[in-house]
Copies of this chain bind each other. A is one copy, B any other.
Amino acid sequence: MNSQQVHLASRPEGTPSADNFELVSVALPELKEGEILVQNTWISVDPYMRGRMIDRKSYIPPFQIGEVLEGGAIGEVVQSNNPDFPAGSKVSSMLGWRSHFVSDGNGLTLLPNTPLPEQTFLGIMGMPGMTAWTGLFRIAELKPTDTVFISAASGAVGSIACQIAKMHGCTVIGSVGSEEKAQYLLSLGVDATINYKEADNLSQALADAAPQGIDVYFENVGGEHLEAALNNMNDYGRIAVCGLISQYNATEPQPGPSNMAMLIIKKLKMQGFIVFDHWAHYSEYAQQMGQWIAEGKVKYEETVYQGIDQAAEAFIGLFEGKNKGKMLVKL
């Protein structure tokens, strides 16, 4: 039995390209007592994985060259020597870009019995959805009266953050990179959109979209977006720093915002977070989000690439804005 796996062939300099990745066929061992064979059905590609391609100390160890790219995946147990994971059950793992794997069950989670499609546990019911909820409530202390600015607003995290903030009563402004994505956000009920690629001056565009100022900024992008947000924050505003996708492929250090003084003048709080630190609250999130989905209050989009040989292309597409909602690879 062989597993098709995508390995890191070399560390990207700047934007990743196909030659940084290598599709490899690896023989799997025979199942031992207590072990299961899982066939992955969906794998996740996420922007944070770019950070793990850099050889540095971080909250999670870097990927190693010649090793498989780990990350979220959903699969089906196809052979089982472990009564906790019977054949036919669905599991999520962090074992990433591989078609099959053998496991003793350690680190795997059985998917709950739900009518939701299994891949939602890589998106709205999984890490990206939990990230949106965590950033808004546990970091930015969202209040119903807040005006909220969300960057990368049509992405996996952003599109959920927009809808959660709207349901909480907030006024929501989202920034996106195309007119089509702007229309998508408006269909989700967002109050105003900014196409940052068309804006001569992002700070002024935000001032026009939010003349009342913004109370919360959900930061996914960095650079000019952060500078624009700082200029438009109201007193005691909160910035949840979730991602800085504009900088992930930079080959030179990128200067921070030139208006850091706004932190003092407006008494702002800016806080970075990693969703895994908040995972103890996942069941609270999942129950709430499951109910919202069942009630038809939340929509989610998926952008799907077919086949493990497309995983690298799907991942690279994240940095070109090719996804609407969650970027996924179906095996």
The interface of chain A, by Cβ under 8 A from chain B, is: 51, 58-59, 222, 226, 235, 241-244, 247, 253-274, 277
Contacts and interface: CB of A to CB of B under 8 A. Distances in A.
With a 10 A CB-CB cut-off, give which of A242, A266, A270 has the most chain B CB atoms. A270
A243 B260 CA distance: 10
A242 B58 CA distance: 28
A264 B258 contact: no
A271 B272 contact: no
Contacts of A254: 258
Contact of A260 (B51, B58, B256, B259): B256
B273 A271 contact: no
Enumerate the 9 nearest inter-chain pairs by beta-carbon distance, A residue then B residue, closest first: A256-B256, A263-B272, A255-B255, A253-B258, A264-B272, A269-B271, A256-B257, A241-B263, A270-B270
A215 to B, nearest CB: 15
Contacts of A226: 260
Instruction: Classify the interface of chain A: helix, strand, loop or mixed.
Output: loop
B253 A259 contact: yes
Nearest to A250: B258
B269 A264 contact: no
Nearest to A242: B264
22 contacts: A51-B261, A51-B265, A58-B265, A59-B235, A59-B266, A222-B261, A226-B260, A243-B264, A244-B264, A253-B258, A254-B258, A255-B255, A255-B256, A257-B260, A264-B273, A266-B272, A267-B271, A267-B272, A267-B273, A267-B277, A268-B271, A269-B272
Nearest to A256: B256
Contacts of A51: 261, 265
A300 B247 CA distance: 45
A253 B268 CA distance: 19
Given A244-B261, A253-B259, A268-B272, 10 more contacts: A51-B265, A255-B256, A255-B258, A256-B259, A263-B271, A263-B272, A267-B271, A268-B271, A269-B270, A270-B270
